Amino acid sequence: MDKSQIDPQDMFGAIYHFPDQIKEALVTGKKIELKNDFSKIRNIVLTGMGGSAIGGDVIKAIISDELKIPFYVNRNYDLPNWIDEETLVICSSYSGNTEEALGSYKDAVKKGAQICGISTGGKLSEQLAENDYDLIKIPGGLQPRAALAYSFVPILYLLNKIGFVSEKIISELNETVSVLESKRESYSVGESDNPIFKMAKEIYGMIPIIYGVTDTTGVVALRWKGQLCENSKMLAYHNELPELNHNEIIGWGNNPDLLSELSVIWLRDKNDNPRIKARQDITKEILNDMGIMQHEVRAEGNTKTERLLDLINFGDWLSYWCAILHDTDPSPVKNIDRLKQALEKIN
């Protein structure tokens, strides 16, 4: 299997170097020097789309045990009406030209919010500079989804500098790097000894459904879905417990021919609520009785940060190997490009 012919833009390298990217992003975070005072904010909104927004979801999951003010991730042109002068709006756009992020930036200015941004450049960086707002400049040259560490690590440092995140979170990131480095040699080999490659061979011809847990592995399920769609060019879906037990569980009824094309992947964490664990086991048994293909991936690590990023990295590799098995270049996103070009023609 000649990966270099299938993957000329080297998505392999972007995933392989994820722990290195975290280290570089830690350096970027340490260098942050703020011009503005954010000490009086009462809530935080990160606004962005796609790979930029998922960084906000990762932050929210990592800091949920210690953050004492609301943290909201916004994916839209506009912001909620409750945004005011005591809200910190973090505008996140890797390219700096995402039209939804630019729209929400203008809305933040209109609502009088305190504003900062994170980007590689583009219109967002220009507008932030014009209005003397703080900007965290991050390295360019990657697909936004492949720049995840740059999208969330510096913001954790930002929140640390303004007193909302402890040094403990930062130290956990440093510890996570060595764990990810230790695993990448086995995860990056297209052989049956690699558990991720083995799973990819079983699901790449199906439609994966990833089940996580609200406020913990739910963000990982969302990330896996996005990576399988963008890298593997295959449809994938996700949902969260306990909500799916109140509706979606009934959907596994009719259309048996279609159900046979679905594959469920359970994301599990040792700190899941005991009742959640019971729901996972019972639901898994129900689907097993129906003959549904199921896989289970358990988060590994001593801290929430380590387990969360371990699962994310697992999913990134899974999407890569599914792309290779499809003989598909994981980097281009032709339908997104086509959509953007069409939108540019509409005033």
Closest of 61, 93, 99, 56 to residue 74, by C-alpha: 56
Report the SS3 class of residue 316: helix
Confirm if 290 and 255 have CB atoms less than 8 A apart. no
Distance CA 193, CA 182 (A): 16
Distance CA 107, CA 101 (A): 10
Tell me which of 100, 172, 230, 240 is the catalytic residue. Answer: 230
Per-residue burial over 120-132, b if 16 or more Cβ lie within 10 Å, else e, is: bbbbbbebbeeee
Distance CA 248, CA 238 (A): 11
Tell me which of 68, 246, 334, 345 is the catalytic residue. Answer: 246
Confirm if 240 and 268 have CB atoms less than 8 A apart. no
Helix 195-203 × helix 304-325 angle, to 10°: 50
Catalytic residue list contains 246 = yes
Instruction: Give the up-direction half-sphere exposure of residue 130: CA atoms within 13 A in the CB hemisphere.
Output: 9
Judged by phi (left if over 0) then psi (alpha if -120 to 50, else beta), residue 291 lies in: left
Distance CA 224, CA 114 (A): 32
Distance CA 155, CA 157 (A): 5
Instruction: State the virtual CA torsion across 276, 281, 283, 289 in degrees, nearest 10.
Output: 180
Cite the active site residues. 230, 246, 340
